[in-house]
């Protein structure tokens, strides 16, 4: 029986963070859960081709933009389930058992519980808010991972090919079909450390609000890059 999941990892000069992410997927590969890993690359110059060759991952190169990268790559998958995972995100040790139960018993989309690779009050508060937002408003972000049947992904229209908020756009289409998985996705806190937890968190909230108010993803992406 073919393993049911294709893991799609959007990359753009992500070599420094890919090692732990791939290591956390290893159990799923050996357990017959993960059929293939595909790097959805936006034109990296960090030797991503060599990483793909050494790890057995496939590589698909497209125009840069996470929505475009994931949308294009998802069309290549042949498995009944897809798992989208950021390149700086590490799944907890129990993820294989949790995901297997979900795949065998559910036809909904699933997302993981967010944590940061940092200690202290601020990381806990920001992660706690993200998990609460996902549960109350059905709005998980991409750094929480997204597991879903390929048929459901296609029915929802997949990721829109936009430069920002592609995760929110898809989550809104999946409302009522999202399940919180009892496993953890630990993501990098590098941007929060660099910009400050309060500033970064506030900026993310403003970006989400502007998106809901109709600001274009292109303008939001420009604002996001400016920090």
31 domain residue, yes or no:
yes
pLDDT classification of 47: cutoffs 50, 70, 90? very high
166 domain residue, yes or no:
yes
Mean pLDDT (whole number) for 41-50: 97
Q: Give, in order, the Cα–Cα distances in Å from 103 to each of 5, 24, 81, 132.
A: 9, 18, 8, 24
Mean pLDDT (whole number) for 17-46: 97
* In the block, residue with structure tokens 């040790």: 93
d(CA 108, CA 155): 12
Whole-number average pLDDT of the chain:
95
pLDDT classification of 170: cutoffs 50, 70, 90? very high
Determine the pLDDT at residue 218: 87
pLDDT classification of 220: cutoffs 50, 70, 90? confident
d(CA 197, CA 161): 29
Q: What is the pLDDT of residues 66-107, one digit of tens each?
A: 999 999 999 999 999 999 999 999 999 999 999 999 999 999
Of 153, 148, 144, the residue nearest 173 (C-alpha): 153
Of 174, 182, 129, the residue nearest 156 (C-alpha): 174
Determine the pLDDT at residue 1: 67
210 domain residue, yes or no:
no
Number of domains in the chain: 1
Determine the pLDDT at residue 227: 59
Of 124, 95, 126, the residue nearest 112 (C-alpha): 95
227 domain residue, yes or no:
no
Query: When comparing pLDDT for 200 and 59, which is higher?
Result: 59
Does position 124 have pLDDT exceeding 70, yes or no?
Answer: yes
163: its two tokens: 């430069």
pLDDT classification of 37: cutoffs 50, 70, 90? very high
Does position 159 have pLDDT exceeding 70, yes or no?
Answer: yes
Determine the pLDDT at residue 223: 77
142 domain residue, yes or no:
yes
Determine the pLDDT at residue 131: 97
166: its two tokens: 């592609």
89 domain residue, yes or no:
yes
Q: Give, in order, the Cα–Cα distances in Å from 206 to each of 115, 163, 197, 201, 203.
A: 21, 17, 14, 9, 5
196 domain residue, yes or no:
no
214 domain residue, yes or no:
no
The domain spanning residue 108 has which CATH number? 3.90.550.10
Determine the pLDDT at residue 21: 98
Query: The domain containing residue 103 runs over which residues?
Result: 5-188
Percent of the chain with pLDDT strictly greater than 90: 85
Whether 113 and 182 have beta carbons less than 8 Å apart is answered as yes
Q: What is the pLDDT of residues 189-208, one digit of tens each?
A: 999 999 899 888 888 889 98
pTM for this entry: 0.95
pLDDT classification of 226: cutoffs 50, 70, 90? low
Sign of the C-alpha dihedral computed for residues 1, 75, 44 and 188 taken in this order: negative
């Amino acid at each position: 029986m073919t393993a049911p999941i294709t893991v799609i990892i959007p990359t753009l000069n992500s070599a420094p963070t890919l090692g732990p992410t791939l290591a956390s997927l290893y159990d799923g590969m050996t357990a017959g859960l993960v059929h293939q890993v595909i790097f959805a690359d936006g034109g990296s110059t960090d030797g991503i081709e060599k990483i793909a060759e050494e790890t057995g991952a496939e590589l698909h190169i497209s125009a840069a933009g996470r929505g475009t990268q994931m949308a294009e790559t998802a069309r290549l998958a042949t498995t009944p389930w897809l798992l989208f995972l950021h390149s700086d995100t590490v799944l907890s040790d129990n993820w294989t058992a949790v995901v297997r139960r979900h795949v065998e018993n559910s036809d909904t989309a699933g997302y993981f519980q967010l944590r940061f690779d940092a200690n202290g009050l601020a990381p806990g508060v920001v992660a706690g808010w993200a998990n609460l937002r996902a549960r109350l408003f059905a709005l998980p972000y991409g750094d929480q991972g997204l597991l879903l049947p390929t048929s459901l992904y296609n029915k929802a229209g997949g990721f829109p090919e936009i430069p920002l908020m592609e995760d929110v756009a898809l989550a809104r289409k999946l409302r009522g079909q999202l399940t919180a998985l009892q496993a953890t996705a630990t993501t990098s806190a590098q941007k929060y450390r660099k910009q400050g937890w309060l500033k970064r968190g506030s900026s993310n909230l403003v970006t989400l609000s502007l998106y809901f108010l109709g600001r274009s993803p292109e303008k939001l992406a420009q604002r996001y890059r400016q920090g």
